[in-house]
Amino acid sequence: MKKIQFRLAVIFMIGFIVSGCASLASSSFFGPGNFYSDTVTVGAKRGEASGRVIFGVFGKVSYPPVEEVARDNGITKIATVEHYAKIGFMGFWITYTTIVTGE
């Protein structure tokens, strides 16, 4: 009976570890990344803002607004906007980042 319990525990742990790694790999592949246009020139000013969500409950579950990031960094003409989502250890937290460049 102890052998069966041990084997089940090992199988569950392997499944837990593999599913955590798979979620990190799929989120970076399918998740939001940088969006850019090759028809505009990148501005001299760059602004960045981040927000963190812990356990999917505590914090603001979205990217910082583009307008707010531009206003806080003195950008009046937006050239590019990038959105990133970085998943923390085993998905306990997610950091949402917005980067704005322009004049």
Q: Are residues 59 and 27 in the same domain?
A: no
Q: ∠ at Cα 69 (65, 71), nearest 5°?
A: 115
Percent with pLDDT over 90 in the chain: 11
| Region of poorest pLDDT, from 17-21, 32-36, 89-93 | 32-36
What is the rounded average pLDDT for all residues in the chain? Answer: 77
How many Å apart are CA 42 and CA 34, to the nearest integer? 14
Q: Are residues 46 and 2 in the same domain?
A: no
DSSP line for 69-88 = HHHHTT-SSEEEEEEEEEE-
Q: Are residues 17 and 66 in the same domain?
A: no
Per-residue pLDDT at 19 exceeds 70: no
Q: Are residues 21 and 52 in the same domain?
A: no
Q: Are residues 23 and 41 in the same domain?
A: no
- What is the number of domains present in the chain? 2
Q: Are residues 51 and 87 in the same domain?
A: yes
How much is the pTM? 0.57
Residue 30: predicted pLDDT: 44
Q: Are residues 21 and 46 in the same domain?
A: no
User: What are the pLDDT digits (tens) for 21-65?
Assistant: 555 444 444 445 544 445 555 668 899 999 888 887 788 767 888
Domain that holds residue 90: 34-103
